[in-house]
Structure 1
Amino acid sequence: MSRLQARDIRNSQEARRIIEERGLSHVKVGMFDIDGVMLGKYMRRDKFLNALDNGFAFCDVVLGWDSKDELYDNVRYTGWHTGYPDAPLRILPETCRDVPAEGDMLLFLAEFEGPAEAICPRGLLRRVLDKARGMGFGVSGALEYEFFLFDETPQSIRDKGFRDLKPFTPDMMGYSMLRSSVHAEIYHELLALAEAMDFPIEGLHTETGPGVLEAAIGVDEALAAADKGALFKVFTKVWAQRRGLMATFMAKWSPDYPGQSGHIHLSLTHADSGASAFFDADKPHGMSDLQRHFVAGQQALMPELLAMLAPTINSYTRLIPGFWAPTDATWGVENRTTALRVIPGSAKSQRVEYRLGSADANPYLAMAAAIGSGLHGIQQRLEPEAPVVGNAYEQAHPAHQALPRTLWDAAQRLRVSEAARGLFGDDFVEHFAATREWEERQFRRHITDWELDRYFEII
């Protein structure tokens, strides 16, 4: 019997076998919280093997605090009023990965069960995909991320107060063969890591800005694609810090450079035949009726679901004209100035790129919003508005296409959205909207450098 590989694991029996073959004393187990932050622990072998069949428990505070471990005071699911009890999780054998920096170590993802499942980001996407299957569709997806590399450490950026940081490379050199050749070992290491951890990178290149890279992750079934995107973000940061560098996926770290996107490519297939549901050679741009309805749903619900794709205060500094980020719920064919870019092609390649999302979004929530809104369009047989031709930034658009301009406003749109509640459930909408309101309140407690410079002396 051949030795099992991590990417071959599909069930608990195979998970047991690979752990035994490697003689591991401990295994890594992780899950993702509302902000897309990966949390977890090393678990002793006997406890892990028991958890494969029976699940395990984790303090539900991880669903009740923000990205700085500060406790929400406005959510119902958990808090001081519940005493922060444990919540059950199930281990997902099919998510098994090697952890190259740790020898034979294995990593498994977990997902919340019970009441916590209603607000679990991965569980939310899984339920949206269950809906797609119930409608007769399979969903494929791929994520693209831009991120900046810095010649800094976690300590040095704090010592500098996050000011005067040194990018890994200087100047604006998008698609630079010079940069990728001079620093080839950096690229090779990241590409190798991505292959080893099963989030393979189809394309890696410099973008416009000092030290910025863009990585296009390979296409997969949508839930697996979200796993790949989430793990890519975490372990790119791990890899960089182990090298004495830092990677950031902030939506925008400097007013001088474009923001960092998290674009989502999506396509549907007919579950019974595997044929493309988006491609119709007899229709304009190859867009089938189903793709047209899907895009219409995405367009219609974009203002209501924006908080799921732009979830931080910083996200909204990216959504300004002329910086490669959309400002209205627009669509076009092969148009990178619009929020939705239909990419014509063949039955294999026909798809839509959801360009609104920023790199700071939780991949599970961003994909749930992008897919769920498209399914809504199919169910309601919605029709998109006229596609934008030319520069969307220079054209006037209907008022209802305008996107919320702040996180607070986006949270309010989500909270009152009947479509969001129908797609994702009341528990999730209430919880997530409250967490975004909390985030805005935390920001309002602080005084910015801009305010001090503008008002301290003169007012």
Structure 2
Amino acid sequence: MSELKRIKTVEDVKQLVNHRKLSHIKVGLFDNDGVLLGKYMGRDKFFSALDSGFSFCDVVLGWDCQDQIYDNTTFTGWHTGFPDKQARILPDTARNLPDEENMLLFLAEFSGDAEQVCPRGLLRRVIDKAASMGFLARAACEYEFFLFQETPDSIREKGYRNLKPFTPDAFGYSVIRNSVHSELYHEILDMAQSMNFPIESIHPETGPGVIEAALVVDDILSAADKAALFKTFMKVLAERKGLMATFMARWSSEQAGQSGHIHMSLVDANGQSVFYDPSQPHGMSAVQKHFIAGQQRLMPEFLALLAPTINSYRRLLPGHWAPTRASWGVENRTCALRLIPGNEKSQRVEYRLGAADACPYLALAAVLASGLYGIEHGLEPTEAVSGNAYAQSSSGEQTLPRSLYEAAQMLKGSEAAVNYFGETFVEHYAATREWEEMEFRKHVTDWELARYFEII
């Protein structure tokens, strides 16, 4: 791992590949659903791509998570012929690949005009905006995911019914569970360490087979890379062990949803916290107050980036450990935004609206951009919620969209989204969410059959 931390330049990468005598290298990039797509690339081709970029078919920007082509997007589609777009390899993203001997993985991102709709490119644009305001963002993601004693074949044979969880019943924080299955927990920890997305803590969560893992804090772009890689390779590790992991927002009507909480703070160019002011209540500086206010104000408009699937909205219900409005409170886990008082190093805000199914790059971009918006406009948050936020009324501005389609319409109509993300991205991404909703409406659910078949 220490060897890879020194890799910063193209020349560093070439020396490493030659030292390992690799004939091929794995290269991948993330799409707008947070899915890692890529290929093994021959050494000579890889070196050429390091020097001058490489071509990647832009169909990966024009299809959904089931490889179905969008018919409503303008950036790419049948009407463009799906040309190649330029991409660049990122030397400082080098990772070892467990169980693939000396094989290396490098992340890439789209360049040129495709950068406008590339999720990693989007986050970098928001980071640049923060830098222009004198801020650097630090972030950490924590994920809940369910494990099953199933395989890709068995879940399909069962029609996704009667799946067997990795462990039975609810047993949150159980030392029995993580001791009986310590081998798996250690494998997860070792993989995360060796692939440079180290885990700060991991434990059984409340629910059959559910685990929660909190990743170590880092600069926001690295945090996004680490979160996206963790989700990908947690699934890989599980399947190699005859298990399956899901990061769906809510996989069962009997179980609570799966969160993807985001912790974020801002520092200045000298690395000093701009959120912490010991002279103020709860240590909350004026900057942090404006930041939270912006997140509150734009949460409804940016929700499609944080709740990107039809299933996302199955989680946003009262009493399911997920916020139902754009509320905030001090150390209050029933709120969408949880102020965590601390010190120079730990003062932060937890964006609890986030779900496990969101693309980390888009989710972090939304969380940061909305906070910056509050700082730019000097916004003030509403009164902090005390007690159960689910049981309290809210103003219309705090009301969240109740469906993916509604969220897509709010994103399309958001002036702030266009200003921070660009018109091309907003148009393209909103269209992809409209497509997702249209695909869902084509299908008849089991609930509809059971409710209407005989009676109506």
Q: TM-score, normalised by structure 2?
A: 0.99
Q: Please state whether the residue corresponding to 1:172 is helix, strand or coil.
A: coil
Match of residue 93 from structure 2: 95
Distance in 2 of aligned mates of 1:157 and 1:281: 53
Match of residue 140 from structure 1: 138
Match of residue 233 from structure 1: 231
Match of residue 175 from structure 1: 173
Match of residue 74 from structure 1: 72
2:320 corresponds to 1:323: yes
2:253 corresponds to 1:262: no
Distance in 1 of aligned mates of 2:333 and 2:271: 29
Moved runs in structure 1, 4+ residues, more than 3 A? none
Match of residue 346 from structure 1: 343
Letter in 2 for 1:195: Q
- Percentage of identical aligned residues: 65
Letter in 2 for 1:448: T
What CA deviation, in whole Å up to 9, does each residue of 1:161-184 have, x standing for no partner? Answer: 000000000000000001000000
Contact 1:4 1:18 in 2 (8 A): no
Distance in 2 of aligned mates of 1:43 and 1:214: 34
What CA deviation, in whole Å up to 9, does each residue of 1:366-425 have, x standing for no partner? Answer: 000000000010001110010101100111111220100000000000000001111100
Letter in 1 for 2:332: N
Residue correspondence of structure 1 range 81-230 to structure 2 within 5 A: 81-230=79-228
Residue correspondence of structure 1 range 364-403 to structure 2 within 5 A: 364-403=361-400
Distance in 1 of aligned mates of 2:159 and 2:85: 37
Contact 1:333 1:341 in 2 (8 A): yes
Residue 118 of structure 1 deviates from its aligned partner by 0.3
Distance in 2 of aligned mates of 1:369 and 1:389: 26
Aligned length: 456
Q: Please state whether the residue corresponding to 1:100 is helix, strand or coil.
A: coil
What CA deviation, in whole Å up to 9, does each residue of 1:130-152 have, x standing for no partner? Answer: 11111101110000000000000
Letter in 2 for 1:236: M
2:333 corresponds to 1:336: yes
Match of residue 273 from structure 2: 276
Residue 95 of structure 1 deviates from its aligned partner by 0.5
Q: Please state whether the residue corresponding to 1:18 is helix, strand or coil.
A: helix
Q: TM-score, normalised by structure 1?
A: 0.99
Q: Please state whether the residue corresponding to 1:101 is helix, strand or coil.
A: coil
Distance in 2 of aligned mates of 1:456 and 1:203: 48
Distance in 1 of aligned mates of 2:2 and 2:447: 56
Contact 1:144 1:263 in 2 (8 A): yes
Task: Find 1:405's aligned residue among 394, 402, 405.
Answer: 402
Residue 6 of structure 1 deviates from its aligned partner by 2.1
Match of residue 240 from structure 2: 242
Any gaps of 5 or more consecutive residues in structure 1? none
Distance in 2 of aligned mates of 1:6 and 1:274: 24
Residue 458 of structure 1 deviates from its aligned partner by 1.4
Distance in 2 of aligned mates of 1:8 and 1:72: 41
Contact 1:125 1:365 in 2 (8 A): yes
Distance in 2 of aligned mates of 1:402 and 1:132: 27
Distance in 1 of aligned mates of 2:380 and 2:93: 38
Letter in 1 for 2:443: H
Residue correspondence of structure 1 range 5-84 to structure 2 within 5 A: 5-84=3-82
Letter in 1 for 2:63: W
Q: Please state whether the residue corresponding to 1:265 is helix, strand or coil.
A: strand
When residues 302 and 4 of structure 1 are mapped into structure 2, their CA distance, relative to the original with a 3 A threshold, is closer
Letter in 2 for 1:18: L
Match of residue 422 from structure 2: 425
Distance in 1 of aligned mates of 2:230 and 2:354: 16
Letter in 1 for 2:435: W
Q: Please state whether the residue corresponding to 2:444 is helix, strand or coil.
A: coil
Match of residue 312 from structure 1: 309
Contact 1:7 1:97 in 2 (8 A): no
Letter in 2 for 1:402: T
Contact 1:6 1:106 in 2 (8 A): no
Root mean square deviation, CA, Å: 0.8
What CA deviation, in whole Å up to 9, does each residue of 1:317-351 have, x standing for no partner? Answer: 00000110000000001000000001000010000
Distance in 1 of aligned mates of 2:354 and 2:383: 22
Letter in 1 for 2:157: D
Distance in 2 of aligned mates of 1:194 and 1:7: 15
Residue 100 of structure 1 deviates from its aligned partner by 1.4
Distance in 2 of aligned mates of 1:53 and 1:409: 44
Letter in 2 for 1:92: L
Any gaps of 5 or more consecutive residues in structure 2? none
Residue 4 of structure 1 deviates from its aligned partner by 7.3
